[in-house]
Chain A
Amino acid sequence: MLGYNGKFLEVNLSNSSFKDTAVPEDWVKDYIGGRALAARIISDRLIYKWDTINPLGPENLLLFMPGPFTGYYPGGRTCVTGKSPQSNGMVGSTVGGEFGVELRCAGYDGIIVSGKAEKPVYLFIKDSDVELKDATRIWGKDCKQTEALLNKECRQILAERYPRGGVWKQPAKLYIGPAGERKVRPSVVVAKWTHAAGYGGYGAVMGSKNLKAIAVKGTGPLPEVADMEKVTQMIDEVCKGAYKNVLWRRWGTGGGGYNFGAETSSEPVRNWQEEWHDQKSYGVDQFENRVWVKPAWSDFGCPTNCLKISCIRSGKYKGAITDNPDYELQAFLGPNLGLFTPEENVYLSSLIEDLGLCGIQGGSVLGFAGELYQRGILTQTDLGGIDLRWGDAEAFATLARKIAYRDGIGDILAEGTYRAALTLGKLKGKNLLPFTITGKGISIGAHGLRSGRDFSREIGYACSVQGGDHTSQTDLPLDGWGSEIWTIFNDSAVMCIFTSFNISPTFRYDFYKAITGQSLTRNGWLVGGGFKALQIQRALLLLGGPDLTWNAAVDDDNPERFYEPLPTGPCKGQAVNRASVKQKVSKYYEQAGWDQKGMPTSELLRKLNLEYVDESLHKIR
């Protein structure tokens, strides 16, 4: 099929075997790639025993899925997925960088990893030459060292094998840090130091498979497309649209550090006890003037360059390097911990990235611990001597290290906010869930609901099949623009949501047609691949297990905190209306074709030709 290579690389780490597999063409037509196609593949293989599969066991699958847009559409991304150790469902998490582009140039549409290697390995792909290399030397290294060591080693291999190849560019890499190696649930799959597939916790899945990294170099062209002239012209259109976005190009999401606090009042402050601050010290101009060393950085083909590089060159936090930081890290490793200076934020962001922890999930668990300490539930002795006061960057840094290395209290917190609340709750004899701001085990992104001024919606997290994922929220009506069906398209194509501001919403379907030659309409996706992927992900989420399962009646809801009135700011006193949420959730069930228990109905699944999903759901109906 045009726009695709027509083969996947299947890797079984248990017996070090590789093979090329094909995915049925009608799946590819229906689900296009990335998250949706992964949902079809993984459910086909694992749904029958889903509730017994340990996400951190060898039986889990780990998929690396670019989509038909990757490499062509400006700002290409790769979807990383599998059974999530955070939600026990399937979460499609996308990461920027050149990995997907190189993989498609190497001749693959994706990688499916199963099993577990005996000792640490990394996968090295040069076109169709695939091998597992010993990673003992790299295991244990932080992300910046890992990047350097892999670059050196891979380029040396390439230079030796292809002496006339000139000087090789670095291969594209995805890797994990010490947190992933220790199966810390809030850990990420990293690219280029600062990019990460965060939601879902796939760093821990890589770690559980003893897979430190994947490096790929593709020398072939991208798969042939249906109408190259049209594709070129459309790429140009996207770029021109992006160039008009002057402020976005200058500041990226970094403007949020002040805006989401002061203006929309939806930023986590001290573990969401407040959602408002008016700290001008946290304005993006302060970041630009004090810590940026490069004002424009982007991945291959990106016209937006919303990345900027920050580095602390002197003083207490010397040597800290990160990108912007982007808004989520600004929030979770800033106001969420009571910190309001660019330097402290860059220091913690750099550390979190070195450890391979997730900025959002990791920041959330740090904030959770901070609140327990504030309330006297966790003591200095519990924390191994840390005086975890709000606003103490060093204290939170020490705790982050403990989490990444599972040291002391870190071993409990390494299970993520929700699971840590259950364990600590038992130890302390208290219900600690009211202090967790999560959806289905996934900490909610830094866009609160109470002020109603942000893009997030009342049932955005409660009904999402990816829990607290702020990039995969949903809303009523299901066929409206706020619905999760469209985020499924983004994660399947796979495209970046920050390059397309000045493009019409239906542009993507024309682009899909220019690439693949297949026609697809908004409505086609709404009743086809997008809708089916939503049902599959919902089924997997409800099947859950083995350690946690979700009860839709209880868990299709917002965290308790969002029902408490905002204590400060322009929206003081506002809270989410519980009755309205209940009503909307049941309306959403209706529109999504789910029964009273929030489960996709048999009739619907059969109509969608998803009988196998229906059969697997029988045991929990």
Chain B
Amino acid sequence: MLVPGTEFPHLCTQCEDYPCIKTCPFKALDVNEATSAVVVNIEKCTGCGKCIEACPGKVPFVHPKTNKILICDLCSGDPQCVKVCQEGGWNCLRMVERGDHEFKLFSRVPEETAKALATKLYGEKAEEFF
């Protein structure tokens, strides 16, 4: 929420070409075949941060205590965030089939998404908040 009212999750969207995996010098990242999620092998991860640079949305981050990279792993196919969102009746988060969509499109830095959402909500006034 860089602007009040524009909350959104800033998470891994599983780009088709996985630039984070390609860039990892230690081969610590891998794809879970069943879910398409990026999985971190914490034994191999050094927390160097190269994957953050490679990610178009700058999604990964180093956990402040473990010093290892954290990326959403879709809770092994049963994402808890989706579950609670549905329980609460907000219906913002849903499970979708991968299909033909270009998922890389949705990997964006928060500033970009926040600006778009703020413009949608507040019109021209949104420009003053960035």
CA distance A194 to B58 in the complex (A): 30
Q: Which of B25-33, B36-44, B98-106, B117-125 lines the interface with chain A?
A: B117-125
Binding site secondary structure of chain B: loop
CB within 8 Å for A167 and B88 given contacts A309-B121, A311-B123, A321-B122 = no
Assess whether A552 is interfacial by the CB under 8 Å rule. Answer: no
CB under 8 Å from chain B, chain A span 125-167: 144-145, 147-148, 151, 162-167
Q: For the complex, is A226 an interface residue (Cβ under 8 Å from B)?
A: no
List, in ascending order, chain A residues with CB within 8 A of B124's CB. 319
CB-CB nearest in chain A for B48: A164
Alpha-carbon distance between A147 and B110 when the two chains are bound, in angstroms: 16
Asked if B19 is an interface residue, CB under 8 A from chain A, the answer is: no
B71-99 interface (Cβ within 8 A of A) = 87-90
Q: Which of chain A's residues 163-178 have a Cβ closer than 8 Å to chain B?
A: 163-167, 169-170
Q: Which residue of chain B has its CB nearest to the CB of A97?
A: B4
Q: Find the A residue at minimum CB distance from B109.
A: A167
Give CA–CA (A267, B99) in the complex, Å: 55
CB distance from A287 to the nearest CB of B (A): 16
Cβ-closest chain A residue relative to B59? A166
Distance from B11 Cβ to chain A, minimum over Cβ atoms (Å): 11
Q: Which residues of A, 569-621, contact B by the 8 Å Cβ criterion?
A: none
Nearest opposing residue in chain B for A195, CB measure? B4
A354 to chain B, nearest CB (A): 11
Q: Is the CB of A498 closer than 8 A to any CB of chain B?
A: no
Flag whether B16 is at the interface (Cβ < 8 A).
Answer: no
Chain B residues in 8 Å Cβ range of A294: 5, 121
In the complex the two chains form, what is the Cα distance from A311 to B121 in whole Å? 7
B49, A164: Cβ atoms closer than 8 Å: yes
Confirm or deny: B116 has a beta carbon within 8 angstroms of a beta carbon on chain A: no
Q: In the complex the two chains form, is A319's CB within 8 Å of B125's CB?
A: yes
Indicate if A99 sits at the interface (CB-CB under 8 A).
no
The 8 A CB mask of B49-80 against A (1 = contact, 0 = none) is 10010000011111011000000000000000
Q: Bound state CA distance, A148 and B128, in angstroms? A: 8
A192: B residues at CB distance < 8 A: 1, 4
Distance in Å from the Cβ of B51 to the closest Cβ of chain A? Answer: 10
Q: Which listed residue (B3, B109, B123) contacts A313, Cβ 8 A?
A: B123
Q: How far is the CA of A239 from the CA of B2 in the complex (A)?
A: 26
Q: A164-B47, A166-B58, A313-B123 are in contact. Are A144 and B88 (CB under 8 A)?
A: no
A163 lies within 8 A of B49 (CB): yes
Q: A144-B129, A147-B4, A148-B130 are in contact. Are A167 and B110 (CB under 8 A)?
A: yes
CA distance A296 to B92 in the complex (A): 11
Size category of the B interface is 20 to 34
Shortest C-beta distance, B2 to chain A (Å), equals 6
Q: Which chain A residues border B60 with CB–CB below 8 Å?
A: 166
Q: Is the CB of A311 within 8 A of B122?
A: yes
Shortest CB-to-CB span from A72 to chain B, Å, is 15
Shortest Cβ distance from residue B60 to the other chain A in the assembled complex, whole angstroms: 6
Determine if A293 is an interface residue (Cβ-Cβ < 8 Å).
yes
Which A494-536 residues sit within 8 Å CB-CB of chain B? none
Residues of B within 8 A of A48 (CB): none
Residues of B within 8 A of A293 (CB): 121-122
Taken together as a complex, chains A and B put the C-alpha atoms of A219 and B60 apart, in Å, by: 16
In the assembled complex, the Cα of A147 lies from the Cα of B2 at a distance in Å of 9
Q: Do B2 and A151 touch (CB < 8 A)?
A: yes
Please state if A165 and B61 are interface contacts (CB–CB under 8 Å): yes
Closest Cβ of chain A to B55, distance in Å, is 9
Query: A169 — which chain B residues lie within 8 A by C-beta?
Result: 1, 10
Size band of the interface chain A makes with B: 20 to 34
Residues of chain A within 8 A (CB-CB) of B5 are: 294, 297, 309, 321
Nearest CB on A from B117, distance (A)? 10
A166 touches B62 (CB 8 A): yes
In the assembled complex, how far is the CB of residue A422 from the closest CB belonging to chain B, in whole angstroms? 38
Inter-subunit contact A170/B123 (CB<8 Å): no
Roughly how many angstroms separate A151 CA and B121 CA in the complex, as a whole number? 19
Chain A positions within 8 Å of B64 at CB level: 162, 165, 219-220
Contact pattern, B 1-18, Cβ under 8 Å of A = 1, otherwise 0: 111110100100000000
Q: Which residues of chain B are within 8 angstroms of A170 by Cβ–Cβ distance? A: 1-2
Contact status B129-A148, CB under 8 Å: yes
CB-CB under 8 A from B121, the residues of chain A are 293-294, 309, 311
- B90 near A296 (CB under 8 angstroms)? yes
Pairwise interchain contact B110-A194, C-beta atoms closer than 8 A: no
Given the complex, which residues of A lie within 8 Å of B47, measured CB to CB?
164
With a cutoff of 8 Å between Cβ atoms, the chain B residues found around residue A296 in the complex are 90
Does A550 belong to the interface (CB within 8 Å)?
no
Contacts of A144 in B (CB 8 A): 128-129
A262 to chain B, nearest CB (A): 29
Question: CA–CA, A130 to B112, complex, Å?
Answer: 30
| Cβ 8 A contact of A321, one of B87, B89, B90, B125 | B125
Give chain B residues whose Cβ lies under 8 Å from the Cβ of A151. Answer: 2
B residues near A311, Cβ cutoff 8 Å? 121-123, 125
A166 and B61 contacting across the interface, CB-CB below 8 Å: yes
**CB-based contact A166/B52 at 8 Å:** yes
Which A residue sits closest to B62, measured CB to CB?
Answer: A164
The answer, yes or no, to whether A18 is at the interface (CB within 8 Å) is: no
Contacts of A193 in B (CB 8 A): 4
Q: Output the nearest chain A residue to B47 by Cβ-Cβ distance.
A: A164
Q: Is the CB of A303 within 8 A of B88?
A: yes
In the complex, are the beta carbons of A145 and B128 less than 8 A apart?
yes
User: Is residue A248 within 8 Å, beta carbon to beta carbon, of the partner chain?
Assistant: no
Say which residue of B3, B7, B88, B110 sits within 8 Å of A243 (CB atoms). B88
The interface residues of chain B lying within 8 Å CB-to-CB of A147 are 3-4, 129
Q: Which residues of chain A are near B90, meaning CB under 8 Å?
A: 296, 305
One of B4, B48, B58, B130 near A167 (C-beta < 8 A) = B58
Q: Which residue of A lies closest to B67 (CB)?
A: A164
Q: How far is it, in angstroms, between the C-alpha of A303 and the C-alpha of B49 when the chains are bound? A: 35
**3 shortest A-B CB distances, which residue pairs?**
A166-B61, A164-B49, A164-B62
B residues with CB within 8 A of A: 1-5, 7, 10, 47-49, 52, 58-62, 64-65, 87-90, 109-110, 121-125, 128-130
What are 28 residue pairs bridging A and B, where the CB atoms are less than 8 Å apart in the complex? A144-B128, A144-B129, A147-B3, A147-B129, A148-B3, A148-B128, A148-B130, A163-B49, A164-B47, A164-B48, A164-B49, A164-B52, A164-B61, A165-B61, A166-B62, A167-B109, A170-B1, A170-B2, A219-B65, A220-B64, A243-B87, A243-B88, A293-B121, A311-B121, A311-B123, A313-B122, A318-B123, A319-B122
A residues sitting closer than 8 Å to B (CB atoms) are: 144-145, 147-148, 151, 162-167, 169-170, 192-194, 219-220, 239, 243, 293-294, 296-297, 303, 305, 309, 311, 313, 318-319, 321
Q: A144-B129, A164-B61, A220-B64 are in contact. List 7 more A-B contacts (CB 8 A).
A: A147-B3, A162-B64, A167-B110, A219-B64, A243-B87, A309-B121, A311-B123
